[in-house]
Amino acid sequence: MIVGIDIGGSTTDAVVLENGGLHVVTIEANDPVAAAAGALGKLIAEFGISLEDIERVAATGAGARVLADSLLGRPVIKVNEFTAIGVGGTSLAGMDQALVVSLGTGTAIVSVTPGKIQHFSGTGVGGGTLLGLAKHMLGVVTIERLEELARKGDLRRVDLTVRDIAGGPIGDLPPGTTAANFGKVGADATPEDKALAIMNMIVESIGVLSLASARACGQENIVLTGKLSRLFRFMQEAKRLDFPFGRRFVIPEHADYATAIGAARTARKE
Ligand SMILES: Nc1ncnc2c1ncn2[C@@H]1O[C@H](COP(=O)(O)OP(=O)(O)O)[C@@H](O)[C@H]1O
Ligand SMILES: [Mg+2]
C-alpha cells in the first residue's frame, strides 16, 4: 500500500487508500520531519497497519522538501504539491477537468485538463489570515470559537454595500453586493459581527479570485479542497453567502485531505 503525506503550513495529513476505503490522520507539529514521522506513526498505530506493508510514502506540501529518501525505513518519493492538489481535487470530485482551489494556510489555484496540470494563481489570503486576524482583532484562537461568534454576527454593521453607497443596484451589481469589506465598521460593531465579517472577507476574496481564474482558464467547475473549505460550507449553511454562483462550486467528501490523497494517487500511477 501507498501512504500519502501532506506536510502543510498548519497541519500534516497522512492517508492510506485501501480497496476503495480511506484511512486518515491529521496532526499539528512544527518540525516537518517530526510531523511526517508522527503522522505515519499515528496512521499505523490507529489502523493496525504494519510498516512492512507500506510499499512507499508519497510526500508533498511545503515541508516535504526536507524529508530524506526514507521515513521510518520506508522509501519516500516526493510529489509536486500542485500535481497533488490537482489530482486530489479532481479525483475526489469524480471529474477529469476542473479548477481546483486548495484552501489551506494560504490559497493555491490549479487548473486541471486531461493530461495537464497547471498552477494558475493563488493568494496569501487563506486560513492563516483567518486565524491571524481573529487572534489580533478578537483574541480568538480557534476556528470553532470563531464560528460560534460568527453565527450571531450581522454584516450590516461592518461591511459597506452597493446599497449603502448607491441606494440601489449599480449596473449588474445587486444592492447587497459588498462594496468594501469592513468599510462601514463603527463603534456599534460587536465581536460577533467582526468574526462574521472576517470570514466573509476571506470567502469573498477567494471566491472572486476563483471565479476569475475559472473564467480565464475556461473551466466550468470549481473544486474546493483543504481545511478551510469548511469556511465556504459554513457561510453557505449560514445562508450568508450572497455570492454570484455563476459557476459550480463543489466541496467533495474528504476535501480536507485532498492533497495527501492526490500525492498517494500520483505515486500509485507512477
Ligand atoms: N482542525 C484544524 N486545525 C488546524 N487548522 C484548521 C483546522 N480546521 C480548520 N483549520 C484552518 O485551516 C487552515 C489550514 O488548512 P490546511 O488544509 O491544513 O493547510 P496546510 O496544508 O497549509 O497546512 C488553518 O490556517 C485554519 O484556518
Ligand atoms: Mg495541507
pLDDT tens, position by position, 119-160: 999 999 999 999 999 999 999 999 999 999 999 999 999 999
Say yes or no: CB of residue 226 within 6 Å of ligand 1.
yes
CA of 206 to the centre of ligand 1 (A): 15
CA of 81 to the centre of ligand 1 (A): 16
Say yes or no: CB of residue 8 within 6 Å of ligand 1.
yes
Quote the longest CA-to-CA distance of the chain: 68
Say yes or no: CB of residue 63 within 6 Å of ligand 1.
no
Question: What CATH class has 2-84+258-269?
Answer: alpha beta
DSSP states along 40-97? HHHHHHHHT--GGG--EEEEESGGGGG--SEETTEEEEE--HHHHHHHHHHHHHT-SS
Q: Which three cell numbers stand for residue 228?
A: 478551510
Least confident interval from 8-17, 93-102, 212-221, 234-243: 234-243
Query: What pLDDT, on a 0 to 100 scale, did the predictor assign at position 3?
Result: 97
Find all residues with CB under 8 Å of 237, minimum gap 6, and list them: none
CATH 3.30.420.40 maps onto the chain at 2-84+258-269, 95-251
CA of 241 to the centre of ligand 2 (A): 25
CA of 236 to the centre of ligand 2 (A): 22
- Residue 6 CA, closest ligand 1 atom number: 21
Q: Which of 250, 234, 139, 249 minimizes the C-alpha distance to 196?
A: 234
- Residue 131 CA, closest ligand 1 atom number: 27
Ligand closest to Cα of 228 equals 1
Residue-wise pLDDT tens digits, 199-246 = 999 999 999 999 999 999 999 999 999 999 999 888 887 765 555 555
For the entire predicted model, the pTM comes to: 0.95
Query: What pLDDT, on a 0 to 100 scale, did the predictor assign at position 244?
Result: 53
Residue-wise pLDDT tens digits, 54-74 = 999 999 999 999 999 999 999
Q: Whose CA is nearest to atom 5 of ligand 1?
A: 10
Average pLDDT value for the chain:
94
Query: Quick count: other Cβ atoms within 10 Å of Cβ 86?
Result: 31
Query: What pLDDT, on a 0 to 100 scale, did the predictor assign at position 19?
Result: 77
* Topology annotation, domain 95-251: Nucleotidyltransferase; domain 5 (3.30.420)
Ligand closest to Cα of 129 equals 1
CA distance 246 to 97: 18
Strand partners, 5: 14, 59
CA of 164 to the centre of ligand 2 (A): 39
Characterize 185-224 residue by residue with b for buried, 16 or more Cβ atoms within 10 angstroms of its Cβ, and e for exposed. beeebebbbbbbbbbbbbbbbbbebbbebbeebebebbbb
Say yes or no: CB of residue 175 within 6 Å of ligand 1.
no
Say yes or no: CB of residue 128 within 6 Å of ligand 1.
yes
